[in-house]
Amino acid sequence: MLCRKETTVGNASNVDMNEVAIQMKNIVKKFGNFVANDHINLTIHKGEVHAILGENGAGKSTLMNVLYGIYQPTSGSIEIDGKEVVIEGPEKAIELGIGMVHQHFMLVQPFTVTENIILGDEPRKGLVVDKESAKKKIMELSEKYGLMVDPDAKIEDISVGMQQRVEILKVLYRGAKHLILDEPTSSLTPQEISELMEIIKNLTNDGKSVILITHKLKEITEAADFCTIIRQGKYIDTVKVDEVDENALASMMVGRNVEFKVEKKDIKPGKVALDVKNLHAKDYRGVEILNGLNLQVREGEIVGLAGVDGNGQSELVEILTGLMKAESGEITIEGVDIFNKSPKEIFDTGVSSIPEDRQKHGLVMDYTVSENLILQNFGTEKFSKHGILKKSAMKKFADEMIEKFDIRPRGCETRLAKQLSGGNQQKVIIAREVTNDKELLIAMNPTRGLDVGAIEFVHKYLVEQRNKGRAVLLVSFELDEIMSLSDQIQVIFEGQITGSVKGSEADENELGFLMAGGKKDEA
């Protein structure tokens, strides 16, 4: 992250080891025969940032839902501020000073910031809502913790980062002393993440404790004092973050060693596969979003497109895959024109892609895994004859893919895509697109929301395509991902490529500078 130096909360510890804020003892939560939480212990001190680390489905959310009163534990006890309590529901949790900020924001879009914060707890003056005094209280909180918001702006008009600050204010407004943040950085830009880290520091300075649910190791080493690791519902360990490194955390989380460094063999890039020249495009509002963009990706090369969200990345990918039309410019694949062609024509020419939004574009969520695996290829001889689908070929192909790409659960080819976990949904898409094996593979934020094990998997296949001599365009908001995978990094800013760095020579600060609109020679 860009913010490493400023935000080492872990070192500037506010932890008061003498005062226990939350203690969960031997928490067991069973669903039927399945044990989601198996004797988990958690101790949180006043002023502490405590990370809870675990893979998707490890039982982190279950544990937090127990603490927030959404689930009742099968056995075990909870003490808040030294008193044993039974938390019957979220109302009781709020009363006890526990506040939860969910991963997916729960805000009323057309309402203002103030209206959202006071919703359900409105101060009154006679019969009317006293917005002025509410606004005053919000501004006080906002200043105290560095949670900058515009109290009169509507939610639909503000950035994701500010929406999150509104969620945190909502919780503080209700007097929370202990905050649970569920995957708080999953949709934030690097800048917004560093702001959030600052806010967390301010909160603990004030004696509040923060529980951080995450599977991003870097955030833990940067922000947390302690980390509790959960694997398959079982308590593994609680460690002092200062005393471990990321590798140790990762292997505790997945139960085996994880490769962070992606093995990339040296290959010489071949001829230009994707060539974009002077591309201009307008977004849906008619605002110029791509402004004379030039980009080349060669065979056997991963080009990473780095940039802050909203600088034209999504539009570029949509144009390259045929979902959106550009105003002017040239786009060729191996010399063949694909400018403003249909998705089908572009696919047939040689472009496959891992879309940004897997639920909207990547998968038909109500289709089975096996149906999803043939989304572009149902019409080929392999899967149909005279317009009739070959069910047995589909099943055979699905079985092969499930085996080869480790899509879980095994034998899920008749399951609907929506019944799989996020990581496995992504594996279905990877399986399909890698097997399509086109000249160019475009991947946009391919690891968003995935845990370490799944990320490793996705990276492995991107590199494999490169090693096979295919061109790969990686668009990502995760700078780490760009830096570890790319042979060449291109920085996009306001619809243009503003800088180009060799992958092996990339430096976070320099990229951050370029991403913020700096020019290379000024750096």
Angle made by CA atoms 233, 238, 240, in degrees to the nearest 5? 150
Pairing of strands 288-298, 336-337: unpaired
| CA distances, 477 to each of 70, 196, 231, 340 (Å) | 33, 16, 28, 26
ω into residue 409 within 30 of 0, thus cis?
yes
In angstroms, the CA 394 to CA 483 distance is 38
Q: Which amino acid is at 458?
A: V
Least separation in angstroms between residue 426's CB and other proteins is 13
Beta bridge partners of 142: none
For other proteins, the closer of residues 142 and 314 by Cβ is 314
Whole-angstrom distance, CA of residue 162 vs CA of residue 428: 34
Cβ closest to other proteins, residue 224 vs residue 428 = 428
Measured from the CB atom, is 30 or 264 closer to other proteins? Answer: 30
Least distance CB 221 / other proteins (angstroms): 25
- Cα-to-chain-centroid distance, residue 491: 20
Q: Could you give the strand order of the β-sheet that contains 16-31, starting from the edge strand earlier in sequence? A: 83-85, 75-80, 16-31, 34-46, 234-240, 226-231, 49-53, 209-214, 178-182, 98-101
Q: Which is nearer to other proteins, 77 or 414 (CB)?
A: 414
Of the pair 55, 198, the CB lying nearest other proteins is at 55
CB 427 within 8 A of CB 407: yes
CB-nearer residue toward other proteins: 331 or 514: 331
d(CA 291, CA 486): 24
CA 84 to chain centre: 36
Would you say 94 and 174 are in contact if contact means Cβ atoms under 8 Å apart? yes
- Of 287 and 388, which CB lies nearer to other proteins in the complex structure? 388
Q: How far is the CB of 239 from other proteins (least distance, A)?
A: 23
With residue 289 as reference, give the H or E element that holds it.
strand 288-298
CB of 41 to other proteins, least distance (A): 20
Shortest Cβ distance from residue 416 to other proteins (Å)?
10
What is the smallest separation between the CB atom of 359 and other proteins, expressed in angstroms? 8
Residue 320 beta carbon to other proteins: minimum distance, rounded to whole angstroms: 12
425 touches 407 (CB < 8 A): no
- Exposed e or buried b per residue across 73-90, where buried means at least 16 C-beta atoms within 10 angstroms of its C-beta: beebebebeeeebebeee
Which stretches of the chain bind other proteins, using CB under 8 A? 31-34, 36, 55-59, 62, 233, 321, 323, 342-344, 347, 355, 360-367, 371, 375-376, 378-379, 384, 387-389, 391, 408-409, 411-412, 414-415, 419-421, 423-424
Shortest Å, Cβ 392 to other proteins: 12
Looking at the Cβ atoms of 273 and 454, the one nearer to other proteins is 454
Closest CB 475 distance from other proteins, rounded Å: 15
Nearest to other proteins of 96, 346 (CB atom): 346
